[in-house]
Structure 1
Amino acid sequence: MPSIQRHSLHAQASPVAGETHRAAGSAHWRVEDLDFSRIDRQAIEHSEDMFFLLMSASFIETGSDTYATNLAEHYAAYPEISAWLKDHWEAEELQHGRALRAYVEAVWPRFPWQQAYDSFFGEYSKLCTVEELYPDQRLEMVARCVVETGTTAYYHTLRELSDEPVLTELLGHIRNDEVSHYKHFLKYFKELQQEAPVGRARIAGALYGRLKELRESDSDVALRHVWAHKGDYFADSATRFEDMAQRIYELVSRRLPADLAVRMLLKPMLLPPRVEGLVRTPISRLATRVMSY
């Protein structure tokens, strides 16, 4: 097995079963390609759950550049990885933020998006530190696979919940981007493993550790700031913040594609196919329990 070269990472991304991905050389989607004038407002504007889910997602995606900068610096010794993080991963995450912002502002135009986002970012930016990353670069790649699994499952679920055509199209684009990001992180992890393997026990520990952290996710911070600035939107609701948050977490967790998530989570373990088949069911039960709010 060839060893990894710090200045020449070139292996192809391995596929995730059943997932679509962009063909080599195909153009990436653009925010400008989405026709927000076609939004079916009746299908979306009265949905309190989608209001909070989409607003909070727009905040998190817009703030992703802070985390991306830290991650690129973490992999500075690997120029190809660092360049991909800055030129592709960060750019696509920020595009998600622009598209989601454009969508929510089209549907709920009185929401003070910039003011609410600034409030959110003041708190969120303190959480995006280098200290949050695994010092071992191989294990941080494992952790990235967990995060991308979570975002893939999340946007897949939101797309399933959507009854509005423009939103469904947008969420499909974002979901496919998250699958592509996962494949890149998995590819880079495998290449780092070739250079200096880390044991499966440590890989499993990183998988489980980051999986547990998904429950204490950035969405908690974002939701609080959306709630604080919602103004007269859904003002007639007697729901408390805690009840709203619990309701939408349960809504999402009930619809999460557990089998897809487990297949993605098991890939970094690099298990033989027979062993992977044996452990998939118990891991699925554990993942569903941990990822449920």
Structure 2
Amino acid sequence: MSNWTPDDIDWSAFAADRVDSDLLKIAKAAALTESNGALYGLYLSRVFHDEPAFQEKTTLWAAEEVQHGEVLGRWASLADPTFDYADALRRFRAGYTIETEVEGSVRGSKTSEMVARCIVEAGTSSFYTALKDASREPVFSDICRRIAADEFRHYKLFLDTLDILLAREGAGVVRRLMVALGRIRETEDDELSFAYHCANYPDRPYVRETAYKDYAARAFGAYQKVHAQRAAAMVLKAAGLSSQGRLGQLAGSLLWVYMRGKLRTARAA
């Protein structure tokens, strides 16, 4: 379980004049997606129904994800008193659902499921580190620092579980890499876009492409190359490839080029 709670945050240090409006919009959306951890926890408990020890770990993981959402929602309400986190979350959950009543992983195997979970945690750990570095508001920076550390620990949990599963199920590098790349592409699906819409523009009609580009124009702008390199190294490990040397440098550079391209496309829209 996380070694911090909302009470550990110095909320009195909040500085309204240092809030970045773009980061605020991102934080509102992140508050909603993090809260979906409860549903993903139910999903994983079904996938791993025959492994109670891992089920217990995913229950704790889900609780931490929900805490992330609640803390981000509380900060966003400080930064924008008109933002109602509970109301935004109701809208989001009414329009976006996750299938939890499954017989097995939607990715075909437990091994592939753990690869996909590693990719998510690699992305979120790097994402919150980027937000921390981009923010001038001290409370938000502290929250992002804490969340980034949690997400890296989650990555390690899923990576260690992946190693155990590989000994039982096996999965080649090509298969793992395909799952990893597929999960990266899923960042453009409805979950992020709809969360951004519900959190920021609930009175407008929802257009996924418009919401995603609006989100991407802000989120990708927070990244520095070092954040892309960090994420790429974590992705390579999950795929069974070395994150050191020329391959690691190449992967980091390619991911950075991809991110900058997404930023340019979104800003041009």
What TM-score, normalized by structure 2, do the two folds share?
0.85
In structure 1, which of residues 81, 96, 114 is the aligned counterpart of residue 86 of structure 2? 114
Structure 2 portions without partners, runs of 5+: 205-209, 263-269
Largest Rg, 1 or 2: 1
Is 209-218 or 167-176 further displaced after alignment? 209-218
Shift of 1:242: 7.1
TM-superposition CA deviations, 1:13-61 (whole Å, max 9, x none):
xxxxxxxxxxxxx9701111112122011111xx320221111011111
8 A Cα contact 2:15 2:137, kept in partner = yes
Q: Sort the Cα spacing of 1:270 and 1:56 in 2 relative to 1 into closer, same or farther, 3 A.
A: same
Letter in 2 for 1:182: Y
**Percent identity between the aligned chains?**
25
TM-superposition CA deviations, 1:233-273 (whole Å, max 9, x none):
xxxxxxx9676434214413556711111111111233467
TM-superposition CA deviations, 1:102-121 (whole Å, max 9, x none):
11122212223322221111
8 A Cα contact 1:112 1:229, kept in partner = no
Alignment of 1:281 onto 2:223: no
In structure 2, which of residues 147, 155, 173 is the aligned counterpart of residue 174 of structure 1? 147
Is 115-124 or 129-138 further displaced after alignment? 129-138
**Match for residue 38 of structure 1?**
13
Q: Sort the Cα spacing of 1:93 and 1:27 in 2 relative to 1 into closer, same or farther, 3 A.
A: closer
**How many residues are matched?**
255
Letter in 2 for 1:264: M
Query: Residue 257 of structure 1: SS of its match in structure 2?
Result: helix
Is 50-59 or 108-117 further displaced after alignment? 108-117
**Mapped partners of 1:243, 1:138: distance in 2:** 32
Structure of higher RCO (CA pairs closer than 8 Å, 6+ residues apart) = 1
8 A Cα contact 2:40 2:98, kept in partner = no
**Mapped partners of 1:32, 1:266: distance in 2:** 36
Query: Residue 212 of structure 1: SS of its match in structure 2?
Result: helix
CA-based RMSD of the aligned residues comes to 2.6
8 A Cα contact 2:229 2:253, kept in partner = no
**Match for residue 236 of structure 2?**
266
8 A Cα contact 1:67 1:129, kept in partner = no
8 A Cα contact 1:60 1:219, kept in partner = yes
Q: Sort the Cα spacing of 1:226 and 1:196 in 2 relative to 1 into closer, same or farther, 3 A.
A: closer
In structure 2, which of residues 26, 43, 62 is the aligned counterpart of residue 53 of structure 1? 26
Shift of 1:286: 3.6
8 A Cα contact 2:46 2:100, kept in partner = no
8 A Cα contact 2:173 2:241, kept in partner = no
8 A Cα contact 1:215 1:291, kept in partner = no
**Match for residue 123 of structure 1?**
95
Q: Sort the Cα spacing of 1:61 and 1:256 in 2 relative to 1 into closer, same or farther, 3 A.
A: farther
In structure 2, which of residues 128, 135, 148 is the aligned counterpart of residue 155 of structure 1? 128
**Match for residue 199 of structure 1?**
172
8 A Cα contact 1:150 1:214, kept in partner = no
